[in-house]
Amino acid sequence: MRLAALAFVMVSFAVRAQDVEPPTLIDDPSLKPVVRPAGDAGVRGQPKVDPKLKPVKPPPVAPVVPAALPSNPAALKLVAVGDAELLKAVAAWRTAVTQGDVVAEGKARAALLSLRDDGGLTGVEGVAMGLLRAARAREKAAEAATAVDLGLAAVSLAPTLPAGRVGLAWLYLAVDPTEPGRVVKELGAALRATLADPRFLRPAVADVAVAGLAAVAVLASVLVFVLAARRLRYCLHDLHFFFPRLMARWQSATIGVLVLGIPFVFRMGLVPSLLLVLAALCLYLSLAERVVASVLVASLGLVPVGAGRLASWASWNGTRAEDVAIVARGDLGSDAAASRLEVRAANSPLGYAELYALGLRELRRGRADAAVARFQSALVTRPNDPLASVNLAVAMIAAGDLQNPKELLEQAQRALPGRPEPSFNLARYYQRRVATSAAENAALEVDQGNAAMSQARALGADRPEPSADAPSALSYLWAVPLPAAELGALAESPDAQDKVQAQVSSFLLGDVSGLWAWLYPLLAGAAIVGLGFLSRPLDASKACEKCGRPASHRGDPELQPGSTMCAQCVNVFARKGVVPPSLKVRKQAEVDRYATFVEQVSRVLGLVCSGMGHVFRGQVVRGVVWALVFLFFASLVVLRAGVMRVEWEGLSPGVRLGLYLPLGLLVWALSLRSLWVKEQA
């Protein structure tokens, strides 16, 4: 029975092999696949490659691939899929939609999906977004079934596009809101796609980081303003003693305020302005207030560096990563992107990711030998890389080489035990050997192929069997897409970093650059904290704990050093029989008015900005924590459109507002409750 089954399998594979019409490969000796002698394992199972080999630029070839290769029956059918073929299929679909031909539209959509399979495309995002917009139009026209079909086709064309997943989720919700499971599933897929792709993850992180930097800058400014509202009157009170006695207090106070406004008037930067105000207030602030305020203001010196680094890290448009990603996906515009990569290759050698993407493109254009050269060059830049080894084996199998790929795939199996691609392609390798009568021991290789396919299915391989008698190479085999992590290093933009850092530094630090730009705020902040300890030796004024008036020995010579009350409160509340009862009643009314004033101002500040009411009442650490969280969500609400442009459609500003605003309001309400509890205590 086993021999009969084996004979049946061999006959069936032979029949399939006769139906295959593989294309003619390029007859160029420099692009022939490397064939090593039997028993020569090369380097860890790979073909022997000269270590001095540089990335090879394949010669220009005609885009039209001949349809037969009689001399190599083991070669697979290669279908050229590029911009021209995609645009032709899109034009046919658009014509059918314009004419309202439902049957033709379905056939054109099926042709697009067939091109995806034949070309091994992983993200035709432009076409997918067109289908998604058409699906929305059908949904508004009450054509629910067609709308969902179009949405599913859009997701099939670009499965890793978050906008497509979100669009399909909205279609599900609009068509049948009684099945929220489908909506949640697609939104979860959109979130995973966002986290996996630097094109979408980096702008999202940039939005959050910019909101955090903005919150720190605003918090430092607001904190200094509130501290000045509490303590500036005592600074101006002591300043008056440095002027002639004939000068009125309002005149000396005006001069002091004008001096503090010099950095604002001459646009010297936000940090110098805040440091000057803190320096004027340092003798009148507590240690906690000085430390918190100085740390916040000094941290602004690091904001330009962080903003510039963030701008470089989050850049995408115009970088090499953008072109490499388009070429690797096989999206519309890959021809122009590949041309730009070739131009860059004339100036500097191509890296691993670029050679990897160009190798995938050669496969999609039907040039298996050129793909072999590309992946061999990629392995020169990164020896023994298992992903490039898998794709090199795929290109070799497509070209009809059924000797060299085996050890490449077996090595990749060992290096990637959790991925199904090596096992899947190894199973296909054994199938091709049996189908083309190239196997010496067909029964053993049938068993090995079945075992490899079982292992691939166990690891999650869900690729269906090709339905055509002569399937294309990229629908029969499984080329590994370029990992998104490889694009990160290519997306760096030093120019963006320099421009953003210079602009932010000019606004915050003024006309200062280099190491001194972030060093002088730290030194000034440390000096302000230290100067505060001179408050008692210099006999600086203090706030009277009763009425809030300035209390100092300089203003009231009879006041004892270290007194926490002014001379009036000492005579009224500490000494008996010094003032008449009517003055005591009047002074008590003044004390009550001051307490009411502090309570009302703290409530107003708490309503305007969470945490500032706590700061005004002296609880600076608690107030700064509340304010930082509140200002963070407030910044997200203000910047709800985002600071980085996202490819295609990201979350709309309305959706962002719906996410951030409730959180900000919750923090605001909790901070008010905390302030009310402290007032009652």
pLDDT tens-digit readout, 278-327: 999 999 999 999 999 999 999 999 999 999 988 888 888 888 899 999 99
Q: Mean pLDDT over all residues of the chain?
A: 83
Within 10 Å of residue 438's Cβ, how many Cβ atoms? 15
- Calculate what percentage of the chain has a pLDDT beyond 70: 88
Using alpha carbons only, give the angle 227, 230, 232 rounded to the nearest 5 degrees.
Answer: 85
Closest by Cα among 680, 623, 634 to 226 = 623
- Considering only 60-69, 164-173, 444-453, which range has the smallest mean pLDDT? 60-69
- Residue of 168, 206, 174, 171 whose CA lies nearest to 190: 168
**What pLDDT digit, counting tens, does each position of 590-646 carry?**
999 998 998 999 999 999 999 999 999 989 999 999 999 999 999 999 988 878 777
Model pLDDT for residues 390-404, shown as the tens digit of each residue: 999 999 999 888 888
- The predicted pLDDT at position 440 comes to 67
What pLDDT band is residue 443 in, cutting at 50, 70 and 90?
confident
Boundaries of every domain in the chain: 2-74+330-419+433-440
User: For position 267, what pLDDT does the model report?
Assistant: 85
- The pTM assigned to this predicted structure is 0.77
3-state SS of 132-159 is HHHHHHHHHCCCHHHHHHHHHHHHHHCC
Six-digit token pair at 600? Answer: 């009302």
Dist CA 150 CA 132 (whole Å) = 6
DSSP summary character for residue 46: B
CA 185/CA 252 separation, integer angstroms: 68
- Higher local confidence (pLDDT), 535 or 53: 535
Q: What pLDDT score does 32 carry?
A: 35
- Please give the structure tokens belonging to residue 294: 């100085």
Under the banding of pLDDT at 50, 70 and 90, the label for residue 655 is confident
Neighbouring C-beta atoms of residue 304, cutoff 10 Å: 23
Q: How far apart are CA 289 and CA 282, in angstroms?
A: 9
Q: Give CATH superfamily name and number for 2-74+330-419+433-440.
A: Tetratricopeptide repeat domain (1.25.40.10)
Give the Cβ contact number of residue 4 at 10 Å.
8
Give the three-state DSSP class for 43: strand
* Average pLDDT over every residue of 61-75: 43
pLDDT tens, 86-143? Answer: 999 999 999 998 888 889 988 999 998 888 888 888 889 989 999 999 999 999 988 8
User: How far, in Å, are 271, 275, 509, 525, 545 from residue 519 at the CA level?
Assistant: 12, 13, 11, 10, 38
pLDDT digits (tens, 9 = 90+) for 516-565: 888 899 999 999 999 999 988 888 888 888 888 888 877 777 777 777 88
359/640: higher pLDDT: 359
Query: Which DSSP letter does residue 77 get?
Result: B
Which comes out higher in pLDDT, residue 667 or 2?
667
pLDDT winner (highest mean) among 14-23, 420-429, 485-494: 420-429
Distance CA(371)–CA(58), nearest Å, equals 9
